[in-house]
Structure 1
């Protein structure tokens, strides 16, 4: 039963954490140059201990849709359970976002979640001028900048983090299901991290987590993002009550800039 809880919870959490560097949108400026292009695809695997529990894909698609006359990118994040985990608790989730090609702010977001017997769909429209969101459960107002599950990740990759200092803490505002939520994230520093694609110089972040049925009292969740022009998450890791859960980049195609691992 504990493994099922971990599988259900962490699949969504780790996919979301891949988007969480958007916390810096409130404090730092976005660079002018686009750092990704249509056709980019990132594939991840999630492991519980030594076992692959789930797989996720995040990609950028060309779009002919326009909002307020402005061209958009179609962003898609998909995830599913894998191996024996798929037999006990099947997950098939798909999240989509249409964002302005220039500002990367979201216009429309939709999600379709199938987790065991649980089903959830939502369609969310962002009114960037009047600062409000219209979703299946109503209309919600917000201040500042806010994102959906997917757009936060892509906006974050365009943030200038050159002035970050170790220990800096920020709050991310995002809309999910029934309203706006926030998550506190700490910048830890830089670190060399190895994944299946090689070793990379990375920026290291620690999103806040709440101890309970899954996390230990002193558990820390860490996320490593390449410290280059691509700025893609290559690894995430957290200890749980029994064992640990990790997420790792397994393939990256269609990147605007070369992905250059450290040469030994």
Structure 2
């Protein structure tokens, strides 16, 4: 039902492995304001790949209580030709501290078929709490939302990682705290219509 949660869960695993330091004390060395990354989403119909929609990640500089911040946004939408089958218009947004990359605020607007949901979460990283319409919830040190976790992962020093190492993190979604981790599966190269690229596998 939640497209982004499926995307994030594909990066997470729960097998025994060597633990490395988590995502605390990260700093940005991988992106800057103005970055936009666009994806085309395909659906496999009996071996035929159909252009089902688009997703765009974007970054802009912002402020939070006069402190420097980043706003990360993910917009996802189905191809208008197939809206009659299943219409998707989703928006996820995370405002994070520009220095620590930890979230101040997470919002999402989900419109998928007949399912609609809006949610806002305010994070207090100092007191380890998250506040939503449902109440105040305890969190852990360095708690992320699903968007800020993806961007934090881009700043992991993978040069220090070995195969099957895991990088711990906790993320808060749907008024629940989930201890989890990214699992480092190694390095590879992929070929696309834009050329050949070196990649990190998680």
TM over 0.5: yes
As a proportion of its length, which structure holds more strand? 2
149-158 or 38-47, which moves further after superposition?
A: 149-158
Please state how far the C-alpha of 1:111 moved relative to its aligned partner. Answer: 0.6
- The DSSP-based 3-state class of the residue aligned with 2:101 is coil
Confirm whether residue 143 of structure 1 aligns to residue 140 of structure 2: yes
**Counterpart residue number, 2:32:** 37
Report what 2:199 is aligned to: 202
Matches within 5 A, 1:112-261: 112-205=109-202
Relative contact order, higher structure (CA 8 A, sep 6+): 1
TM-score of the pair, normalised by structure 2: 0.83
Q: Deviations over 1:81-132 (max 9, x none)?
A: 1255422110100011111111111101111100111110111100011010
The unaligned stretches of length 5 or more in structure 2 are: 14-18
Q: Secondary structure at the match of 2:158?
A: coil
- Tell me, in whole angstroms, the C-alpha distance in 1 between the residues paired with 2:43 and 2:129: 39
In the TM superposition, residue 143 of structure 1 has moved relative to its aligned partner by 1.8
Q: Which moved more, 1:115-124 or 1:196-205?
A: 196-205
Q: Distance in 1 between matches of 2:153 and 2:25?
A: 8
Deviation of the 1:33 alpha carbon: 5.2
Residue 56 (structure 1) aligned with residue 48 (structure 2): no
Structure 1: how far apart are the matches of 2:183 and 2:31? 25
For the aligned residue pairs, the C-alpha RMSD in angstroms reads: 2.6
What are the ranges of 5 or more consecutive residues in structure 1 without an aligned counterpart? Answer: 1-7, 206-264
SS in 1 for 2:84: helix
TM-score (norm 1): 0.65
